[in-house]
Structure 1
C-alpha cells in the first residue's frame, strides 16, 4: 500500500506529461494560424491571376475561331449581309461565346438565345492563344491548371458592323477561375483540401489582336 501511495504522490516528470497533453493543441493552433495566412495569400493570388488573365484576353487574339477567315476576330457582319455597315451588331446575332478546357484542350461554344454565324472552333492558333493566357496566369499563381480557366465573350453593344480595323463586336470579356483547392498543413496527413472561392474579372475587348500583353 505504501508503494502505491508513493507512486501516486510521485510528481517527477509531471512537466513532461503536461507538455505532452498541451503540445497537440499548441501545434493545431500554430499550424492553423499559418494556414489562415496561406489561405489568404492563395485567395489573393487567385484574384490577381484572374485580373491579369482578363487584361491579357482583351488585348491578345480572340480565341473562338482562331485564325480562320470566319473566326470571331475576322468575321464581317456587313459582308455577310447580317447587319448593315456601320450599325451595331444585335444581341440575337452575337449571343456570346464561352470557352473552357478539358484535359488541357480548349473548346468554345455559342451561348443559347441567338446564332453564332462565325466559327467558334479552336484551331492550333487558338489553342496556342489559350495556352499563353493560362501560362500568364500561372506566372502569378502556379497552381492554376488549364481546366480551371473559363472565358466568356458577352454582348456589350460596342463595335459596329464592317469595322475595317478590328472585330465587328467588342465583347465584354470575362475570365473566371474555378474549382481551385487549398491544401492546409493541418489536413496534410489526411489528404483533405479546402475550396478557394471562384473569382471572375471583366473588361471590354480592346484590339483583340496579338500574342503578348504587359
Structure 2
C-alpha cells in the first residue's frame, strides 16, 4: 500500500503526455472551424449557382416558345377582339413538379404544357447547378399589356417571364456531424420581358 501511494503521486505530477492531449482537444475545435468555413463557401457557391441558373433560364425562356401552349398560340382575332387592341390581362404558372400550367389571372382555354421547351430550359439550369430537379422549377408568364391583337411579327402576348426555384436543399458537411438535417434555401427568381419571344 505504501508503494502504491508514491506511484500514484508521481503519476499525478507527470506532465509527459499533456502536449498531445492539449493538441487533441484544440485539433477538434480547429478541424470543426475549417469544416464550417468550407461549408459556408459551399453554401455561397450553391446559392450563386442557383441564382445564375434562374437568370440563364429566364434568358432562355424569353427567346423560345412559351411553355404555356395557350399563351404561345393565343390569337385575339379568333377571340373576336378587334385588331390593334391590347390583349386582356392573364397569367399562367407552369410547374415542373406537375408538368402542367394553370391560369392564375384571367380566363381562357386549356393552358397546355410544352414539355420540350421546359426540358431544354431545365437542362440549361442543370448545366449550372446539377442538383436542380424539375420539381424545383416554376415558370410564370404574366401578360401585362405588351403586345396587341393581330401582331403580324410575333405573338399577340408579350408577357413578363419569371423563372423561380423553390425547395432547393443544402446539406452541410460540418453540421451533419452534429445531426443537423439538410435545410431549404430561400426561393430565387429572375424576371425578364418577353418582347423577343419567338
Length-normalised TM-score, structure 2: 0.92
User: How far, CA to CA, are the matches of 2:31 and 2:181 in structure 1?
Assistant: 18
Is 1:108 equivalent to 2:101 in the alignment? yes
Do 1:187 and 1:193's aligned partners in 2 also have CA atoms closer than 8 Å? no
User: How far, CA to CA, are the matches of 1:182 and 1:114 in structure 2?
Assistant: 37
Give the corresponding residue for 2:91.
96
Residue of 165, 186, 207 corresponding to 2:174: 186
Tell me the SS of whatever aligns to 2:195: coil
Do 1:74 and 1:166's aligned partners in 2 also have CA atoms closer than 8 Å? no
Give the corresponding residue for 2:127.
139
User: How far, CA to CA, are the matches of 2:197 and 2:180 in structure 1?
Assistant: 42
Give the corresponding residue for 2:112.
121
Q: Cα RMSD between the aligned structures? A: 1.5
User: How far, CA to CA, are the matches of 2:188 and 2:9 in structure 1?
Assistant: 65
Give the corresponding residue for 1:41.
45
Is 1:73 equivalent to 2:72 in the alignment? yes
Do 1:73 and 1:166's aligned partners in 2 also have CA atoms closer than 8 Å? no
Residue of 83, 86, 94 corresponding to 1:85: 83
User: How far, CA to CA, are the matches of 1:142 and 1:158 in structure 2?
Assistant: 35
Is 1:61 equivalent to 2:57 in the alignment? no
User: How far, CA to CA, are the matches of 1:191 and 1:99 in structure 2?
Assistant: 33
User: How far, CA to CA, are the matches of 1:41 and 1:2 in structure 2?
Assistant: 60
Give the corresponding residue for 2:187.
198
1:166-191 deviation per Cα after TM superposition (whole angstroms, max 9, x unaligned): 21110111000111111211134446
Do 2:74 and 2:157's aligned partners in 1 also have CA atoms closer than 8 Å? no
User: How many correspondences in the alignment?
Assistant: 193
Higher-Rg member (1/2): 2
User: How far, CA to CA, are the matches of 1:36 and 1:193 in structure 2?
Assistant: 14
Extract unaligned runs of 5+ from structure 1: 66-70, 210-214
Bigger drift between 16-25 and 52-61 goes to 16-25
Query: Alpha-carbon deviation of 1:48?
Result: 0.7
User: How far, CA to CA, are the matches of 1:193 and 1:23 in structure 2?
Assistant: 26
User: How far, CA to CA, are the matches of 1:101 and 1:168 in structure 2?
Assistant: 25
The 5 A counterparts of 1:7-26 are: 7-26=11-30
